[in-house]
């Protein structure tokens, strides 16, 4: 981080607005250097506030990191839920869900690195959140599978975990490879692969 990254000191602002500003600055620092290398001094400087102001909102670096992780996890879960609710056509649902993973991982803010590539997963509170976001995404997908196919919950969860894992891992590979395939094309390829598998479990009352 260089001095050019530092924002000018800002004046008073409403508490929620200040909190959002601090989270934005913290995300930039944590994504750039990781949890262990980041300091509260770095984050306060990046936000353009004094360190006491930062501590008024977040008592410790871990509290700040967890608040940011919560927001990032919620963003992904909501993206998956919105994708599933966007249509009743299951083929389109698969495309929308895979595109949601690509959109989250490909976002220039880099929040996905906190969720999927954290350097603090030995911390129980972080590990619990990382595990929960994968579970919440799989549960959202499994509800659609269970409702449509009539499969038992355990089997629906197994299929959903596979789809969620496919979306997450492939989206991360897509970003790390430099994004030479554009997002729309990547979503199409990924959705085609996923659909050819999940369509083998047709809607209840149909023959496939």
DSSP class per residue in 33-80: H-TTT--HHHHHHHHTS-HHHHHHH-SSHHHHHHHHHHHHHHHHHHHH
- Domain count along the chain: 2
- The Cα 80–Cα 144 span in angstroms is 12
Q: Is the pTM of this model over 0.85?
A: yes
One domain, residues 114 and 160? yes
> Please, is 45 exposed, middle or buried when counting C-beta atoms within 10 Å of its C-beta (0-12, 13-18, 19+)?
buried
Q: What is the pLDDT at residue 206? A: 58
One domain, residues 54 and 84? no
**Residue pointed to by tokens 């909102």:** 57
One domain, residues 51 and 88? no
Query: What's 50's domain CATH number?
Result: 1.10.10.60
One domain, residues 52 and 149? no
Query: What's 94's domain CATH number?
Result: 1.10.357.10
One domain, residues 126 and 29? no
Q: Return per-residue pLDDT of the chain as tens, 208 residues.
A: 443 455 555 557 788 899 999 999 999 999 999 999 999 999 999 999 999 999 999 999 999 999 999 999 999 999 999 999 999 999 999 999 999 999 999 999 999 999 999 999 999 999 999 999 999 999 999 999 999 999 999 999 999 999 999 999 999 999 998 868 999 999 999 999 999 999 888 776 555 4
One domain, residues 190 and 107? yes
One domain, residues 89 and 51? no
Closest residue by Cα to residue 72 from 39, 29, 116: 116
Domain span holding position 155: 68-199
Q: What is the pLDDT at residue 13? A: 76
**Residue pointed to by tokens 């979503």:** 187
- The Cα 71–Cα 17 span in angstroms is 15
One domain, residues 107 and 163? yes
One domain, residues 22 and 82? no
Q: What is the pLDDT at residue 97? A: 97
One domain, residues 153 and 111? yes
Cβ atoms of 73 and 115 closer than 8 Å: yes
């Amino acid at each position: 981080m260089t001095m050019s990254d530092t924002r000018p000191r800002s004046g008073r602002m409403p508490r929620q607005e200040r909190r959002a500003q601090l989270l934005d600055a913290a995300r930039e620092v944590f994504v750039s250097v990781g949890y262990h290398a980041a300091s509260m001094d770095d984050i306060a400087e990046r936000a353009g506030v004094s360190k006491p102001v930062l501590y008024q909102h977040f008592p410790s670096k871990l509290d700040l990191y967890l608040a940011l992780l919560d927001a990032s996890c919620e963003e992904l879960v909501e993206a998956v839920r919105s994708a599933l609710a966007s249509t009743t056509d299951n083929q389109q649902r698969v495309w929308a869900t895979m595109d949601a993973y690509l959109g989250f991982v490909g976002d220039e803010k880099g929040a996905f690195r906190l969720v999927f590539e954290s350097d603090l997963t030995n911390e129980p509170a972080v590990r619990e959140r990382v595990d929960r976001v994968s579970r919440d995404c799989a549960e959202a997908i499994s509800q659609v599978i269970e409702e449509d196919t009539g499969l038992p919950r355990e089997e629906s969860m197994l299929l959903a975990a596979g789809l969620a894992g496919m979306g997450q891992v492939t989206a991360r590979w897509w970003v790390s490879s430099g994004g030479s395939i554009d997002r729309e094309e990547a979503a199409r390829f990924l959705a085609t692969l996923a659909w050819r598998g999940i369509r083998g479990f047709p809607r209840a009352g149909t023959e496939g």
